[in-house]
Amino acid sequence: MTADSPRLTPTLIVCAIAIEAGLLLVLAAETPAQQVAYVLVGYLVAGAAFGGLLWRLRRDTRATCSPAEMAIVIGAAVVFRATLFGVAPATSHDVYRYLWEGLVQQRGFDPYRLAPDSPPLRALAAEHEALWERINHRDIPAIYPPTMQTLFRIQAAALGGTLLGWKCVLLLFDGLLAGVLALKLRRLRAPPVWLAGVLWCPLLLLECYEGGHLDLVGVALLAAAVVAYEYAPAQPRGAIRGTKTLAVCLLSGMLLGLSIDVKYFWPAVVAVLLTLRTRPRRYGAALAAAALLVAAAAWVPYRAGFVAARDTARMFAEHWTFNDIIFEALRMVPMARWGPMVIVMVALAAAAGLLGFRRRAAGVAVAAASDGADAWTDVWLLSGTTLLLAPVAYPWYFLWIVPGLVCRPPLWLVTWVLAVPALHLVDLHYVRTGVWDPMPWLWWVVDVLPALLLAGAWRRRLCRR
């Protein structure tokens, strides 16, 4: 990198103003339908500016950045979040389910066993009527895994189970994500101004601080697990270095275990990948064991409702669909209802195994944590593949690939992150008409180009020596 590259200050200022203008549109809405429409327009304005910023960052060749540039990046990130902090969600009501399940646990009930409209919860529903009425699918018990249920309960106890309290929790994990990405950039000796590639991402800003979605929690834990993994010594020879490698692998595994109990798919395939890539094998076994033990231990407080949670998850996997043309095509093949999900899980495990064994097959000596750049690339490649194959891929699900924007992201990732907000057209139609139309044609608009680019990334990754 050279230190005499053009400064980014003018670009940062222009992009920050455009992104803030897109976010301010949301505040002007007077009805839910108007808010969803303004969210879409805001995505268009902010996304155009953000795409230009990513293009400019890719051309940045400096090893450092000026204090003024970092002040703009951090200051604008704070302003963006403050703009949306008090906004009630209109694109989704999932956050009200989070708040409700925290309150249910505070009263001593198990959300996995009691749906919101269950008779034992009538008194609680009457007490929080406005919240209860906003919950979708009140006949279905909890589906969110235990890491999230624990957070729901802590938030209800400490912050009163309020929307602003939940956004404070998201802000905490947003800070964790920023911190681990800063460590990633430091390890790469890259300018910290590249943090704007994530901190200014309109998808993260609107899906978390307008929609209130929990995916940010899992994303932060997953990114922390991968960055921790990269800090393991590459040649763990000797007692001290071997102990450090073991400790780092255990830490990475524990973070993965917590992330698995936020959303099962993504962290699970990443755990398979990192386990297979880790050499010597005993360190990989330690990573896998830590992930499994932590993921299992999170269920201990909810063990009485495990069977009910399993049944709800199975119902979700077998019947819930959105933006899932590939998965729906599998359902057309005569097989058991749960067959397509098994096929997808096996395919993802095979993809993780292919990437995990690839360097070994090439004859490259890989120690405890193999090439960090390759691991980082593979994680988001697997996450994107999971989104492509999964039965459900709402816009906020794509938060799981947003950390990949921090270091010269691949074209498939940028294209997808900028395109998926168009799926909110479904929400706009719903709030206007009351009719849920998944609009399958949107898949061709939003996903086909990124899917083709993703396939090209797989080809290059597997053919690269």
**DSSP letters for 218-273:** HHHHHHHHHHHHHTS-SS--SHHHHHHHHHHHHHHHHHHHHHHTT-SHHHHHHHHH
Same domain, 423 and 315: no
The region of weakest confidence among 15-24, 61-70, 386-395, 449-458 is 61-70
Query: What is the arithmetic mean of pLDDT over 71-76?
Result: 96
Same domain, 369 and 430: no
Residue 136 lies in a domain: no
Same domain, 66 and 205: yes
Same domain, 386 and 325: yes
Count of domains forming the chain: 2
DSSP, residue by residue, 312-376: HHHHHHHH--BS-HHHHHHHTSSS-TTHHHHHHHHHHHHHHHHHHHHHHHTT----SS--HHHHH
In degrees and rounded to multiples of 5, residue 322 shows phi and psi of: -170, 130
Check whether 278 has a pLDDT greater than 50: yes
Q: How far lies 67's CA from each of 59, 195, 405, in Å?
A: 20, 14, 22
Among candidate residues 369, 393, 417, the one where a domain is terminated: 393
Check whether 269 has a pLDDT greater than 70: yes
Check whether 422 has a pLDDT greater than 80: yes
Residue 100 lies in a domain: no
Give the CA diameter of the chain: 69
Contact 178/217 with Cβ under 8 angstroms? no
Structural tokens at position 12: 């940062």
CB-count burial class (<10 Å; 0-12, 13-18, 19+) for 117: middle
Quickly state the pLDDT bin for 365 (edges 50, 70, 90). Answer: very low
Query: What is d(CA 118, CA 267) in angstroms, rounded to the nearest whole number?
Result: 32
Quickly state the pLDDT bin for 337 (edges 50, 70, 90). Answer: confident
Same domain, 207 and 297: no
pLDDT at residue 241, as a whole number: 66
Helix-then-strand count for the chain, H and E: 22, 0
Among candidate residues 371, 393, 415, the one where a domain is terminated: 393
HSE-up of residue 21 (Cα within 13 Å, Cβ side):
13
Tell me the pLDDT tens digit for each residue of 35-67. 999 999 999 999 999 999 999 888 877 767 888
Which of 374, 368, 348, 347 minimizes the C-alpha distance to 461? Answer: 374
Residue 111 lies in a domain: no
Sign of the C-alpha dihedral, residues 279, 285, 291, 294? Answer: negative
Same domain, 34 and 78: yes
Residue 465 lies in a domain: yes
Same domain, 288 and 373: yes
Residue ranges of the alpha helices (H) in 85-145?
A: 94-106, 122-127, 129-133
Same domain, 421 and 306: no
Same domain, 340 and 380: yes
Check whether 360 has a pLDDT greater than 50: no
Query: Which residues, listed in sequence order, are joined to residue 392 by a DSSP beta bridge?
Result: 322
Same domain, 445 and 374: no
pLDDT at residue 237, as a whole number: 63
Radius of gyration of the chain (CA): 22
Check whether 379 has a pLDDT greater than 80: yes
Structural tokens at position 307: 């069977």
Residue 456 lies in a domain: yes
With b for 16 or more beta-carbon neighbours within 10 A and e for fewer, the 326-356 pattern comes to bbeebbeeeeeeeebbeebbeebeebbebbb
Average pLDDT of the chain, as a whole number: 89
Range of the domain at 23: 1-84+191-211+405-465
Name the CA dihedral angle for 56, 62, 64, 70, rounded to a multiple of 10 degrees. -10
Structural tokens at position 261: 């109990």
Residue with tokens 């000797």: 238
Residue with tokens 């704070």: 78
Q: Which DSSP symbol is given to 7?
A: P
Among candidate residues 359, 393, 427, the one where a domain is terminated: 393
Query: Which residues, listed in sequence order, are joined to residue 322 by a DSSP beta bridge?
Result: 392
Structural tokens at position 258: 């917590």
Residue 21 lies in a domain: yes
Query: What is the arithmetic mean of pLDDT over 74-84?
Result: 97
Query: What is d(CA 400, CA 353) in angstroms, rounded to the nearest whole number?
Result: 20
Same domain, 294 and 268: yes
Name the CA dihedral angle for 122, 124, 125, 126, rounded to a multiple of 10 degrees. 90
Residue 278 lies in a domain: yes
Residue 54 lies in a domain: yes
Structural tokens at position 75: 């200051």
Residue ranges of the alpha helices (H) in 362-433?
A: 372-389, 411-419, 424-433
Contact 381/364 with Cβ under 8 angstroms? no
Same domain, 23 and 63: yes
Check whether 366 has a pLDDT greater than 60: no
Check whether 239 has a pLDDT greater than 70: no
Query: What is the arithmetic mean of pLDDT over 296-317?
Result: 88
CA 451 to chain centre: 18
pTM over 0.85: yes
